[in-house]
Chains A and B, each alone.
Chain A
Amino acid sequence: MKLPTLREIGTEAKLLLIGIPVLIWTLVPIYHMFLFAISPKEDAFSGKLWPDHPTLHNFEIVFRQQHYFLRDFWVQFGNSTVIALATGALTLFIATSAAFSISRLRTPGGRAVMNLALFTYFIPAAFLAVPMYRTMGNYGLLNTHWSLILAMVTIASPYAIWVLKQASDKLPVELDEAATMDGATTLQLFRLVYVPLMMPSLVAVGTYAILLAWNEYLYAFLLLSKDTDITLPVALGNFLAADDSPWELLMTTGFIYALPPAAIYYAFRRYMVGGLTAGAVKS
């Protein structure tokens, strides 16, 4: 084994000098949340780096809904799940058909539609939320899950269409031609050739839409209000309304709420980063 030179040690030390603060900066708020979640009430405020008596009692309270703020925990968890999955499915349906139409069928005006769609992202999210709230009221959708699902689909679709169009532009045209020669109808082409070939991108886009809806706070907070209708993040925000809010339970619920997206993100990291990267280098 070759001994490192002084210069190499110097470089490594400099890198560590950057890396360690980055690690601390990244993990402190998350670790703080975790610490609260596993601490008994008395220990939570002691400022120790590890509780004297780590416990899962807080999780038990949350799962059994044994607190005033948590009485609808499972209903709200279910709401979050249903809204996220519905957003994912609807976004996939809308974006896949749009991308197929623009990229494979070369529908006239298709490109213009995509550019218009991307224009949505030039409207800052909180600015669109104000008229969107009123619009949902006009449509009579306020305080229903559909309002949040449709709002999330609106925000997820443009990126989804764009990613899917980029991916489907890479599929060879000959494929469509061959299928058409064999007598495939447009719908068969879509169902039997296009969708199977696009699977990896579809997984990425579906995951993206699900995460977007699961993580959303502002629209959920505006569009839903009844305790049994709201999603988990809104319930977490409602904890703050009280002066004596039980922090350790709030952090435990927050931790439970943050776990699925983190897990999904890491499981699909390859797909997700791939999609993003393609976009960045092109622009």
Chain B
Amino acid sequence: MAITLSDHAIPRPPLSARLSTPQVWGIVLLAPYLLVFLAFVLYPVGYGLWLARHPQSYVELYHDPIFARAAVNTLIFLVIGINVKMLIALFLSGFFVQQRHWIRWLSVLFILPWAVPSIPTILSVRFMLNPEWGVVNHIIFSLTGDDGPNWLNDPAVALTMAIGVHIWKSLPFWTLILMTGRLAISNDLFEAAAVDGASFWQKFRYITWPSMRTLYVTCTLLSMIWTLGDFNSVYLLTGGGPADLTHVLSTLGIRYLRLDQLNLAMASIVCALPLVLPLVYFMMKRLSR
């Protein structure tokens, strides 16, 4: 899959006799998608950037303490959350390629968080963590006799829980992708290594990792881009609270939008571009190789 935007632009067809019928059909059949792209991707993006042109919006953002907090939270979410998730996925992909009957069954169940919609399951977690009625504090109380913590009322804990929910939801997908990477490695290499008496760690270090490195880094970058747009994990678990301290840039943008401050919403998104653009740049470089 190579992404090269420098290809020749969309042709402006002189609908003359020079075009044979298949070529005309080719353009006609491509047109519906082009229309969708122009109307619902290109126009919104351009319009959004145009809305974000006022310097005043950025001054206002700068003075909004929630924005700074959201930016920091987003960084924590990306740098810690995604790397922890990808490391677990790398580890579990090694577990799931083991040839066992029960592991195959487990992998079928393991996909569930990804296959079911996020809202009911995130709300389920939210109820589990409810300080008074939730099952987690119920168990803590019956084990220790103490009241459990007020989970979602502490910004650090609440953000950690939101990261946990994000990992719960998207771990199966990345594990699956990394599994296909592992399965693509020739078994001969491992057999040869076993003959030479290589340890588990050596096999990983000298066979698995070199062949999976590219895929792993690509997945991490892609996951970071997608996680920047992850609204559900934070919004449905904490709602940005307590006291708007657990917002990330995606929920903050929607918050401004709901408050009818569209210019601020777009400005906060433009402020995220320094995060998005390098990721996209690295992604394109990797994919076009």
Chain A residues near B (Cβ < 8 Å): 15, 18-19, 22-23, 25-30, 32-33, 36, 45-47, 93-95, 97-98, 100-102, 105-113, 115-135, 138-139, 150-151, 153-154, 157, 161-162, 185-187, 190, 214-215, 217-218, 222, 233, 236-237, 239-240, 247, 250-251, 253-255, 257-258, 261-262, 265-266, 269, 273, 276-277, 279-283
- Bound-state Cα–Cα, A261 to B115, Å: 7
List, sorted by A's number, 15 A–B pairs whose CB atoms are closer than 8 Å. A23-B109, A32-B135, A97-B33, A105-B29, A123-B41, A125-B229, A127-B269, A128-B41, A133-B257, A151-B40, A217-B118, A222-B254, A258-B120, A262-B115, A279-B1
- Bound-state Cα–Cα, A47 to B4, Å: 56
- Bound-state Cα–Cα, A125 to B253, Å: 12
Q: Identify the interface centre among B123, B139, B266: most chain A CB within 10 Å of its CB.
A: B123
Instruction: Answer yes or no: B128 CB below 8 A from chain A CBs.
Output: yes
Are B236's CB and A237's CB within 8 A?
yes
Instruction: Answer yes or no: B201 CB below 8 A from chain A CBs.
Output: no
Are B7's CB and A112's CB within 8 A?
yes
Are B45's CB and A128's CB within 8 A?
yes
Q: Given A29-B121, A128-B45, are A111 and B7 neighbors across the interface (CB < 8 Å)?
A: yes
Are B177's CB and A26's CB within 8 A?
no
CB distance from A213 to the nearest CB of B (A): 11
Instruction: Answer yes or no: B149 CB below 8 A from chain A CBs.
Output: no
Are A94's CB and B118's CB within 8 A?
no
List the A residue with the shortest CB-CB distance to B2: A115
Q: Given A131-B48, A134-B47, are A112 and B9 neighbors across the interface (CB < 8 Å)?
A: yes
Are B43's CB and A15's CB within 8 A?
no
- Bound-state Cα–Cα, A25 to B45, Å: 39
Q: Which of B7, B25, B176, B250 interacts with A101 by CB under 8 Å?
A: B25
Are B110's CB and A124's CB within 8 A?
no
- Bound-state Cα–Cα, A134 to B250, Å: 16
Pick from B57-65, B98-106, B151-159, B188-196 the stretch touching chain A: B98-106
Are B98's CB and A15's CB within 8 A?
yes
CB distance from B182 to the nearest CB of A (A): 11
Chain B residues near A (Cβ < 8 Å): 1-5, 7-11, 21-23, 25-27, 29-30, 32-34, 36-37, 39-41, 43-45, 47-48, 51, 92, 95, 98, 100, 102-103, 106, 108-113, 115-125, 127-128, 133, 135, 138-139, 142, 168, 172, 176-177, 180-181, 184, 215, 218, 225-232, 236, 239, 250-251, 253-254, 257, 262, 265-266, 269, 272, 276, 280, 283, 287
Are A26's CB and B110's CB within 8 A?
yes
Sample of 4 further A-B pairs with CB below 8 A, known A32-B127, A283-B215: A105-B23, A119-B5, A124-B227, A157-B36
Are B177's CB and A185's CB within 8 A?
no
- Bound-state Cα–Cα, A131 to B250, Å: 13
Are B250's CB and A126's CB within 8 A?
yes
Are B230's CB and A126's CB within 8 A?
yes
CB distance from A258 to the nearest CB of B (A): 4
Q: Given A123-B45, A186-B21, are A95 and B117 neighbors across the interface (CB < 8 Å)?
A: no
- Bound-state Cα–Cα, A236 to B283, Å: 36
Are B124's CB and A116's CB within 8 A?
no
Q: Given A108-B8, A257-B120, are A102 and B30 neighbors across the interface (CB < 8 Å)?
A: yes
- Bound-state Cα–Cα, A251 to B119, Å: 10
| B23: chain A residues within 8 A (beta carbon) | 105, 107-108
- Bound-state Cα–Cα, A276 to B219, Å: 13
- Bound-state Cα–Cα, A245 to B276, Å: 38
Q: Given A107-B26, A124-B250, are A130 and B112 neighbors across the interface (CB < 8 Å)?
A: no
CB distance from B284 to the nearest CB of A (A): 8
Are A135's CB and B40's CB within 8 A?
yes
Q: Given A47-B135, A126-B229, are A110 and B117 neighbors across the interface (CB < 8 Å)?
A: no
| B122: chain A residues within 8 A (beta carbon) | 29
Are B121's CB and A258's CB within 8 A?
yes
- Bound-state Cα–Cα, A29 to B164, Å: 12
Q: Given A26-B109, A120-B41, A281-B180, are A130 and B265 neighbors across the interface (CB < 8 Å)?
A: yes
Q: Identify the interface centre among A122, A126, A134: most chain B CB within 10 Å of its CB.
A: A126
| A251: chain B residues within 8 A (beta carbon) | 120, 123-124, 127
Are B124's CB and A108's CB within 8 A?
no
CB distance from A150 to the nearest CB of B (A): 6
Are B110's CB and A283's CB within 8 A?
no
Are A27's CB and B124's CB within 8 A?
no
